[in-house]
Amino acid sequence: GQNIDQPTEMTATEGAIVQINCTYQTSGFNGLFWYQQHAGEAPTFLSYNVLDGLEEKGRFSSFLSRSKGYSYLLLKELQMKDSASYLCAVRPEENTDKLIFGTGTRLQVFP
Amino acid sequence: DGGITQSPKYLFRKEGQNVTLSCEQNLNHDAMYWYRQDPGQGLRLIYYSQIVNDFQKGDIAEGYSVSREKKESFPLTVTSAQKNPTAFYLCASSTDRGYNSPLHFGNGTRLTVT
């Protein structure tokens, strides 16, 4: 089966750092994506990892360990606008872009 | 500006009626997808199409149908056979040519069936 686990909710304070974890067990692995989704809106692409290690993109970084089936999204210098759901998704098959999504982590940033 | 357009944003239907959700993209993407999002659940794949005139079932295709007559368009019909049609429906597209090509999503259609 395919399974992607993320915490349901997290809270943090403006200016702080938060780490959102994702573990996966899938039939195959051809990359892991993180998306941000504000309530009622479309998910927007944040990051992509296919090799082990850390990918940094401004305030956001994403880490992958394929041997552990584990990824995290790190958000630094949190802002109120970062309050959103963060979706972890895995591409299990090599020949399509279709993704399997976790349930998402709803992050609330407080002043 | 290139993008994906879903219409309408909100849709209301009576039980037993079929309804078609529109999805149009001008990104020149080959692949298009329909996902369904329910509270507390991840996005689930309904159907996808990698090329015109061809499409495949996703994980929850029962009660849905699609067509891909043009590259730009991938409409989804929610039939009366779908047991729980009320949900947020998201259409997406991608180039489908490389491992790191992300999905681009439309703004979604919230369907309510009573």
Range with the poorest average pLDDT among A11-15, B36-40, B60-64, B100-104: B100-104
- Cα–Cα distance between B95 and B46 in angstroms, integer? 19
Residue B23's pLDDT is: 97
Which among B31, B42, B96 is the nearest to A102, CB-wise? B42
> What percent of chain B is predicted at pLDDT more than 70?
96
- pLDDT for A13: 97
Task: Give how far the C-alpha of residue A88 lies from the chain's centroid of Cα atoms, to the nearest Å.
Answer: 4
Task: Show residues of chain A in contact with B30, CB under 8 Å.
Answer: none
For chain B, what is the mean pLDDT? 92
Give the pLDDT confidence of B52-89 residue by residue, as tens digits. Answer: 999 999 999 999 999 999 999 999 999 988 999 999 99
pLDDT band per the 50, 70, 90 thresholds, residue A12? very high
Give the Cα separation of B93 and B106 in Å (integer). 9
Omega before residue B85 within 30° of 0, cis: no
Using the predicted structure, report yes or no on whether residue B5 has a pLDDT greater than 90. Answer: yes
Cβ proximity of B42 and B35 under 8 Å? no
Does residue A82 have a pLDDT over 80? Answer: yes
Mutate to test the interface with A, among B60, B100, B107 (most CBs of A within 10 A): B100
